[in-house]
């Protein structure tokens, strides 16, 4: 079932087009990445879906509500984490969550304790938020966004300002709440490798237009027409460019990068090499989200 449907959405600010003909769907229970460079319109799209601002044209359904008329209903069932954490620094972690729970009229000590424990903040529950590290604040704002058990979570650059460990913590927590509470998640970001492991599907925005969407598999099938395979081997082919019909480049004394037409060529190639030499490792180097992103942004799309 789709939890979000958008059809031909346009948004203008003072006559300037910010989003144009944006159409997409998001399946309930999935984690989705909304990718695009600064100014592409990601935050604007989230504000439209939340009913904070109105679309100039087009239709949207979020949990079967039209954000134009039922923003309150949508916001009652969605959580949002923006870049500014929007926490009270002169209050404790506990008091912050109590405060926001009361706003949502869902005050429940058990839920607050549960979230603080899940997000490894329970020991610090009575400390002032002003004394927290960026990572702790980020985790607390996630807990705040989940206080009312939302069905849908919008995250705007959730890992900004975090160190690698902090990023990993947030990513793991998102995975956990998705699995345990079945929450659908839409993450805006331009830091791609972080999203790679958790997102099932991606939307690519560029200058206000949705230029591509799909699962990673679908996008790879569409955009990656050749495979770059880096093989660590003792093989010393006589020809400096072609080995048994496979073209390659030498990357280091023990690394050859083969260009293959499809994944089906990987096993036969490796078998051939093994008849002549050792292999320590082999890795496809052009498959990641980053490669896809630049191909899509670069205009390889229709
Ligand atoms: N209220 C507003 N009035 C006028 N222009 C706006 C308003 N909100 C956003 N914009 C413009 O819309 C464009 C898209 O902004 P938006 O914040 O949606 O982009 P973004 O993809 O989220 O960028 P970033 O990654 O930098 O957060 C920008 O050019 C911005 O200046």
Residue 24 sits in a domain whose CATH number is: 3.40.50.300
Residue 195: predicted pLDDT: 80
φ, ψ of residue 289 to 5 degrees: the values are -60, -35
Centroid of ligand 1 to alpha carbon of 121 (angstroms): 33
Does one domain contain both 18 and 146?
Answer: yes
Residue nearest to atom 6 of ligand 1 (CA): 13
| Residue at 243 is within a domain | yes
Provide mean pLDDT across the span 22-51: 93
27 lies in the same domain as 82: yes
CB–CB of 6/58 below 8 Å?
yes
Domain boundary among 200, 220, 240: 220
Mean predicted lDDT score pLDDT of the chain: 90
Q: Which residues contact 122 (CB under 8 A, 6 or more apart)?
A: 113, 116
Whether residue 200 sits in one domain with residue 256: no
If one residue of 43, 45, 54, 160 were mutated to test the ligand 1 pocket, choosing by the most ligand atoms within 8 A of its CB, it would be: 43
295 occurs within a structural domain: no
Residue 111 lies in domain? 2-220
- pLDDT single digits (tens) 137-162: 988 999 999 999 999 999 988 888 77
Task: Work out how many domains the chain is built from and give that number.
Answer: 2
Is there an atom of ligand 1 within 6 Å of 17 CB? no
| Distance separating alpha carbons of residues 56 and 6, to the nearest angstrom | 13
Write the DSSP symbol of residue 15.
T
Alpha carbon of 298 to ligand 1 centroid (Å): 22
Report d(CA 87, CA 96) in Å as an integer.
7
- Is there a single domain that holds both residue 165 and residue 275? no
Q: Are residues 112 and 236 in the same domain?
A: no
ipTM: 0.94
Query: Of 28-37, 126-135, 184-193, where does mean pLDDT reach its minimum?
Result: 184-193
Domain annotation covers residue 292: no
Domain boundary among 220, 237, 266: 220
Please tell me whether residues 259 and 172 are part of one structural domain.
Answer: no
> In DSSP terms, which residues pair with 50 in a beta bridge?
none
* pTM of the model as a whole: 0.83
* Best residue among 15, 41, 52 to mutate for probing ligand 1, ranked by most atoms within 8 Å of CB: 41
How far, in Å, is the centroid of ligand 1 from the Cα of 18?
7
Beta strands in the chain (DSSP E): 2-13, 16-27, 31-35, 57-62, 78-81, 152-156, 184-189, 201-206, 209-215, 227-233, 242-243, 246-252, 255-260, 279-284
Q: Is residue 6 part of a domain?
A: yes
* Residues 92 and 184 reside in one and the same domain: yes
Mutate to test the pocket of ligand 1, among 11, 12, 13 (most ligand atoms within 8 A of CB): 13
**pLDDT(282) > 90:** yes
User: Could you report the per-residue pLDDT of 60-112, keeping only the tens digit for each?
Assistant: 999 999 999 999 999 999 998 887 668 899 999 999 999 999 988 888 889 99
Cα 38 to ligand 1 centre (Å): 8
**Mean pLDDT calculated for residue range 114-134:** 92
Both structure tokens of 155:
């995250």
In a domain, 184, yes or no: yes
Based on the fold, state whether residues 75 and 177 are members of the same structural domain. Answer: yes
Residues 102 and 174 occupy one common structural domain: yes
Q: How far is the CA of 114 from the centre of ligand 1 (A)?
A: 36
Task: Determine what percent of the chain is predicted with pLDDT higher than 90.
Answer: 67
Q: How far is the CA of 71 from the centre of ligand 1 (A)?
A: 20
In this prediction, residue 123 has a pLDDT band, given cuts at 50, 70 and 90, of very high
> How crowded is residue 221: how many other Cβ atoms within 10 Å of its Cβ?
11
Q: Please report whether residue 302 resides in a domain.
A: no
């Amino acid at each position: 079932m789709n939890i979000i449907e958008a059809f031909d959405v346009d948004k203008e600010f003072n006559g300037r087009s910010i989003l144009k003909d944006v159409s997409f769907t998001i399946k309930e229970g999935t984690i989705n990445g909304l990718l695009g460079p600064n100014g592409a319109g990601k935050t604007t799209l989230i504000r439209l879906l939340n009913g904070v601002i109105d679309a100039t044209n087009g239709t949207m359904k979020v949990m079967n509500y039209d954000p134009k008329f039922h923003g309150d209903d949508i916001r009652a069932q969605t959580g949002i984490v923006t870049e500014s954490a929007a926490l009270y620094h002169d209050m404790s972690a506990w008091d912050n969550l109590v405060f926001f729970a009361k706003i949502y009229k869902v005050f429940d000590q058990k839920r607050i304790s549960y979230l603080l424990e899940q997000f490894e903040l329970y020991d610090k529950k009575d400390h002032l938020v002003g004394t927290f590290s960026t990572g702790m604040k980020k985790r607390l704002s996630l807990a705040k966004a989940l206080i009312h058990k939302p069905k849908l979570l919008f995250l705007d650059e959730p890992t900004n300002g975090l160190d690698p460990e902090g990023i990993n913590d947030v990513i793991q927590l998102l995975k956990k709440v998705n699995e345990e509470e079945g929450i659908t998640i839409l993450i805006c970001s331009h830091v791609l490798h972080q999203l790679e492991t958790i997102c099932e599907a991606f939307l690519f925005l560029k200058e206000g237009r949705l230029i591509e969407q799909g699962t990673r598999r679908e996008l790879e099938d569409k955009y990656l027409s050749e495979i770059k395979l880096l093989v660590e081997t003792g093989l010393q082919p006589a020809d400096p460019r072609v080995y048994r019909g496979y073209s390659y480049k030498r990357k280091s004394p023990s690394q050859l990068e083969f260009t293959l037409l499809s994944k089906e060529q990987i096993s036969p190639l490796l078998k051939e090499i093994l008849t002549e030499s050792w292999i320590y490792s082999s890795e496809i180097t052009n498959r990641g989200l980053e490669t896809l992103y630049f191909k899509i942004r670069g205009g390889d799309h229709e």
